Amino acid sequence: MPYLDEHTFEFEAEPDVEIHAHAREHGDVRNRLALQMLKQTRDSLSYVIQLLEEGDTVRATRHMVDFVSQKKFVEAELETGVGVRTIEGVFDGQGMVGADGMRYTIPENYASKSKLVEGDMLKLIVKADGSYVFKQIGPVERRRVAGILGLDPSTQEPIVQAGQDVYKVLAASVSYFKGIPGDEVVILVPNGGNSVWAAVERLNS
């Protein structure tokens, strides 16, 4: 044990002490992930029940599909014991399709405020507590298009009619700008390519 001064000594922990400390940390991560998964299950089921009671079977089904994909990922984390993971993927208008083939739901508020456009490259950081952090790492080239805000007659979800083209837009972005059907809006779409979704940039006042 090397002597440094009269009050400080440099020493190495015994191997079994290090193993037990790692095991405790590993168990804490698993417990946090398990708790996160249970909370997400509770919240998702409540949300789906609400949508079904409102008669919105389309959004209820889509939410359940996304939730099952995320649940499988968390279960894989519990099996491997991995607490932090980074995944890159592509924004599809609502969520991120990861390089691992799974689809991850992105909060509409984040996607709206960030003005994400279909085709943007994203990075997902899964933290040790199971929470997600999304970052935009490769925006596609954009172009601005003017159109009229409306509602899809079959789903009652917001759309924008721009000439002969119709684009879906996130409800959160319409709410943020306090848009109503008939308003003229400026949207962002990928330049040089077709897309189903668009990002609302602003209302045309």
The one-letter code for the residue type at 19 is I
d(CA 95, CA 58): 16
Chain Cα centroid distance, residue 19 = 35
> pLDDT tens digits, residue range 10-58?
222 333 333 233 334 444 555 665 666 667 677 777 777 887 888 877 7
For 183-193, b/e burial (b = at least 16 CB within 10 A) is bebbbbbbeee
CATH of the domain spanning 142-203: 2.40.50
Which position has the token pair 């409102």? 54
Q: Does residue 9 or residue 107 have the better pLDDT?
A: 107
Of 16-30, 128-142, 188-202, the one with minimum mean pLDDT is 16-30
- The rounded mean pLDDT for the chain is 77
* Pairing status of strand 95-98 against strand 85-91: antiparallel
Other Cβ atoms less than 10 A from the Cβ of 52: the count is 13
Tell whether the torsion through CA atoms of 192, 196, 202 and 205 is positive or negative: positive
Spatial neighbors of 88 by CB under 8 A, at least 6 apart, are 98, 99, 121, 122, 123, 124, 137
Which position has the token pair 């085709």? 119
pLDDT on residue 199: 97
Is the full-model pTM beyond 0.85?
Answer: no
Q: Does residue 88 or residue 9 have the better pLDDT?
A: 88
